[in-house]
Amino acid sequence: LDLQVTRNTLDRALLLMDTLLKSLEPSGFTARVDEEKGETLLVGGGTTLTISIVEQVTRTSHTPTRAEVRARDRYYDSFRVGARGEYPNIPQFDWHPTGRLTLTVGSWPSRKWNDTERSLIDSRLSGIVAAIVGLAEAKRAKEEEEERRQQLLKLEAPRRALRYPIDLQVRGSSR
């Protein structure tokens, strides 16, 4: 499953994904995992949609610890004695989990649902299921329109070639 969450929210994310997938089954959707791309796919409604749950995180500037400062100082001092130590890996930022989840379905067209201060995604599942079904219909219509356009271009290609002949010998000559 495409879950990008911390340990603290893993159980909630798994329960949310399980409930959502079970709620989509009556609408004809099934889930499968594309291990090559690392994506979870919803197959149904004549199309395939990606689905993922990501936990939002906040970023703060990192304040080096005493050990990190000592390691950095040792690194700079090593130049005075002619030895060269390895530069310590001191992060620039600290990342903090928020516990807020974002559910994303589809790539284009796509929809996102976020936890908010007032409500969690979990409480809006019935509306989300209806929106996913609508999104699948919109994507299928878009794919059918693109297929019709491609077929029309194939049919018009010979006619266009007669209307605008290209003399490759003249263009290819090195005058």
pLDDT per position as a tens digit, 141-150:
999 999 999 9
CB 49 within 8 A of CB 135: yes
pLDDT-above-90 percentage for the chain: 70
Would you tell me the crossing angle of helices 125-163 and 7-24 to the nearest 10 degrees? Answer: 70
Mean pLDDT of the 149-165 span: 76
Mean pLDDT of the 66-70 span: 94
* Ramachandran category for residue 109: left, alpha or beta (phi over 0 → left; psi -120 to 50 → alpha): beta
Residue 112 reports pLDDT greater than 90: yes
E strands within 9-166? 30-34, 39-44, 47-61, 93-105, 111-114
